[in-house]
Structure 1
Amino acid sequence: MTLRVAVVGAGPAGIYAADILTKSDVDVSVDLFERLPAPFGLVRYGVAPDHPRIKEIIKALQRVMAKPEVRFVGNVDFGTDVKLEDLAEFYDAVIFSTGAMADRDMRIPGEDLKRSYGAADFVSWYDSHPDVPQTWDFGDGTHTAVIGVGNVALDVARVLAKTGDEMLVTDIPAQVHAGLKAKKITDVHVFARRGPAYAKFSPMELRELNHSPNVEVIVHPEGFEVDDHSMEHIAKHKTHKLVLDILANWVGRDIEGKDHRIHLHFMEAPSEILGENGEVVGIRTERTELVGDGSVRGTGEFTDWPVQSVYRAVGYASSPLPGLPFDEKNFVIPNDGGRVIGIDGEFVPNTFVTGWVKRGPVGLIGHTKSDAAETVGHVLETTTETATARSTEDVDAFLRERGVDFITLTDWEKIDAAEIALGEAQDRLRVKLPTREDMIGAARA
């Protein structure tokens, strides 16, 4: 008999899990459930639009979705349209790969001021996520702060600094272009609590920061400190050494006088977001110093930076799922190698996780392959055939009875074709359909 598996979340983690399942020696059938009408998760709605090379991964994901053993079932919201007990009727095992799309807080004063933003919200806006507002409030400020030293921080800083017209070669729809074109930001200040040897940028992302003809990248020498432990660290981590070399080459170089600037400040820990009349007017940082073991401590020397907005890129967080346990401290579903652990400490039968909801938002997209392999191994080892209704017709009939207007792979291909057609009309590869209604309309055309 065919092993039936539901995967909730059709981003890279979920699609990799489906791929590994289909390559096993077991006869399987996999349904990929996704709450959006479009698949690909983080690749479509978390990667900056001016990173087309990274989005090449979509081609590989599409090949998996085209397998006869795999079905795409989009526009289905877990917890509302279908619950865990419902899935247990149709599937022998359920894998949750819902990712992490919420922002972590810095827990400093002023974080709730107007124009104090989480990076995830900004990314969702410029990536045209259909469930977020279509506009963004940049205000009239010319200076902004970005907190964090990861690739998301670089994406946010780059999009904030670039002109709107520079982004028009990407897949952004009209309202995102209009918002970026209207912003008045000239200077983006990126703050890092530790030194440059510990920055988590990837070398490619960092180099791309310097590719815009309109944006100057300035690495400030104050705080650009490297001690013995830093040297030991980069000797063990080739990527960190490459990043440090790039940054070192930028310190003190000649300024070309471009109209927009990204300032990289190391050894500055944000301590408070300053406000007046409920709005951001600045950020206060404390100079830190290296301790000698990779950590830093505050020096008691504070600086106030006049900025009119703040974007925190200090990490994503997964959200709880109805009917499943959740670790509120680490923002993951408790698990052992992908097997979900209930509040009683026992394994939840035939229930698994993979991706960021399993291990937290760390690593690049490619790292989810090995993660999915571990989870799928447990699925194949521990799952017994328990579903009572086993056909795709049963699933479809259930969803229709619930009034769910679900999206199939054929429907998604119509959406995809509509976006490509919009792009061709503007000499672009594609233009995203920004709303859920737009996408479903294209699928039903």
Structure 2
Amino acid sequence: MGVQPTFDTPNWRIAIIGSGPSAFYAAQALFKQDSWPLRVDMFERLPTPYGLVRGGVAPDHQKIKSVIKIYERIASNERFRFFGNVEFGRDVSREDLLEHYDAVLYAVGSSSDRQLGVPGEDVSGVHSATEFVGWYNGHPDYRHGQFDLSSKSVAIIGMGNVAIDVARILAHRLQEIEVTDIADHALQELAGSQIEDIYLIARRGPVQAAFTPVEARELLEMPEADALANPEELQLDEGSQQELDAAGRETRQNLEILNKMAERGNTGKPKRLRFVFLTSPAEVLSEGGKVTGLKLERNVLKQRNGKLSAAGSGETFTLDCGLVFRSIGYKGLPQPGLPYDAKSGTVPNQQGQVFNPETGVACLREYVAGWVKRGPSGVIGTNKPDAVESVRTMLQTFLDEKWQPKEATGVAEIEALLESRQVDTVSFSDWKRLDEHEVRAGQESGKPRRKVSDPEEMLRIIRSG
């Protein structure tokens, strides 16, 4: 990256909080600095690494998960250590980390989700896509989720890739998902699903839809479900046509796929995936505290600050459904001691360096990468240049400030602190023991792995080895 030290040093110690793609790409960028003697310690709240690659990527997308092989190579570096089952803010504080490390990089992602902000949203049967995705992926936080799949109709508010994932999992035949690494508890519940109609609802038009062609194209090939789009909703107004003309290849491919859906129509398959554009939820309808439907409002597109935005037309209609998922974006949560932008759900930063807008002061030894830095956007690979930028800023700051590494002062290792607090840490070799257990259990039943979702069971398996 062109940043070179001008002095010989002991090891610089870098702490990375989180273990998803941005965390591993940051570690990779650090290790590529051959002239810098660096050690990287990665801290993860769960006993398992890889963040959304393990807990977010759909089980029928195993090829995407192959990126884990890259992360394993990074973790094999002798200068890398993994501390799983260690929660930032509970087991170690910001002050602890700044005392033991020359810099701290937060790659904690966006673990919350945005609300619809409509009446009735809190009734039973309304869930976030985050909950459902975590549930079917065996994420420990969501393993006890309860989803009523007895309804004939389900509505998904939002039309990004996560919404498409949710729709696809609901529309799959059992034999297509039982050979994946979907959580056992989810497979059992999905086997009894009565869902026939799945509505994907977007407030804007087809040109503005956030899904990618790869995701949408899969829906055309589902043996159990027809993917349907209303031809009238695919007719573009002048503003949308101009936006399409200026858009990239993926947007044009999306329109081609949607038009194929409209042309093919309903072929009589048992399930239907229905794309609904220019529509927003106005109210969640319920009886006895349980969702029974949605009151929806038709939208029109209007130019606002050079961008097409959805505005309500006043025309409303009702959609009967017994299950609603909101999938309108992730949102980062405040981190202990760090500045926080509540609107974007991110930590304010300048090229990855944490910045406090209230004081106008940069936090010279603290950095962010990934969604907590830029917001929940992009694909897995987007995190690589993002992390590289943060690491570049970090190392340049080391040079500019003419610091000496903490190791030169004889500061203690973090293990002593964790041991004194009786934290049951999980090393990367510990994780590999659990990994091998899951893969072995999966092979016995024709799956890539059978995930363990209970943290206590994870630790039991690790310690029994």
Q: Please state which band the TM-score falls in when normalised by the shorter chain.
A: over 0.9
Partner of 1:376: 391
- The TM-score with structure 2 as length reference comes to 0.92
Task: Say whether 1:276 aligns with 2:295.
Answer: no
Task: Say whether 1:196 aligns with 2:209.
Answer: no
The answer to whether the 8 Å contact 1:100/1:317 transfers is yes
- CA deviation string 1:312-352 (max 9, x = no partner): 00000111111212111111111111111234221123011
Partner of 1:306: 320
- CA deviation string 1:103-131 (max 9, x = no partner): 11111111111111111111111111112
* Higher mean C-alpha deviation, range 385-394 or range 45-54: 385-394
Partner of 2:382: 367
* Mapping for residues 18-417 of structure 1, pairs under 5 Å: 18-24=27-33, 25-235=35-245, 236-291=247-302, 294-342=308-356, 343-383=358-398, 384-385=403-404, 387=406, 394-417=413-436
* Superposed displacement of residue 231, structure 1: 2.8
Q: How many residues align?
A: 445
Task: Say whether 1:430 aligns with 2:449.
Answer: yes
Partner of 2:25: 16
The answer to whether the 8 Å contact 1:95/1:353 transfers is yes
* Superposed displacement of residue 392, structure 1: 10
AA paired with 1:211? E
* Higher mean C-alpha deviation, range 163-172 or range 239-248: 163-172
Quick one: distance in 2 between partners of 1:20 and 1:139? 44
- CA deviation string 1:280-323 (max 9, x = no partner): 11112111223365233222111100011110000001111112
Quick one: distance in 2 between partners of 1:113 and 1:131? 21
The answer to whether the 8 Å contact 2:132/2:145 transfers is no
> Would the alpha carbon gap of residues 421 and 392 (structure 1) be closer, same or farther in structure 2, given more than 3 Å must change?
farther
Quick one: distance in 2 between partners of 1:116 and 1:135? 12
- CA deviation string 1:145-194 (max 9, x = no partner): 00111000101111122244431111123211111112221111111111
The answer to whether the 8 Å contact 2:85/2:424 transfers is yes
The answer to whether the 8 Å contact 2:349/2:355 transfers is yes
SS at match of 2:264: coil
> Would the alpha carbon gap of residues 259 and 80 (structure 1) be closer, same or farther in structure 2, given more than 3 Å must change?
same
Partner of 1:5: 14
Quick one: distance in 2 between partners of 1:167 and 1:392? 51
* Superposed displacement of residue 77, structure 1: 0.2
The answer to whether the 8 Å contact 1:11/1:40 transfers is yes
AA paired with 1:209? L
AA paired with 2:216? L
Quick one: distance in 2 between partners of 1:179 and 1:328? 36
AA paired with 2:388? A
Quick one: distance in 2 between partners of 1:228 and 1:129? 44
Gaps of 5+ in 1: none
- CA deviation string 1:352-397 (max 9, x = no partner): 1111001110111111111111110111011334536988982222
* Higher mean C-alpha deviation, range 8-17 or range 85-94: 85-94
Seq. identity, %: 39
> Would the alpha carbon gap of residues 139 and 176 (structure 1) be closer, same or farther in structure 2, given more than 3 Å must change?
closer
> Would the alpha carbon gap of residues 391 and 240 (structure 1) be closer, same or farther in structure 2, given more than 3 Å must change?
farther
- The TM-score with structure 1 as length reference comes to 0.96
Quick one: distance in 1 between partners of 2:388 and 2:409? 25
SS at match of 1:291: strand
Quick one: distance in 2 between partners of 1:155 and 1:389? 50
SS at match of 1:216: strand
SS at match of 2:142: coil
> Would the alpha carbon gap of residues 364 and 212 (structure 1) be closer, same or farther in structure 2, given more than 3 Å must change?
same
Quick one: distance in 2 between partners of 1:209 and 1:125? 22
AA paired with 1:338? G
The answer to whether the 8 Å contact 2:161/2:211 transfers is yes
Quick one: distance in 2 between partners of 1:138 and 1:353? 38
Gaps of 5+ in 2: 1-9
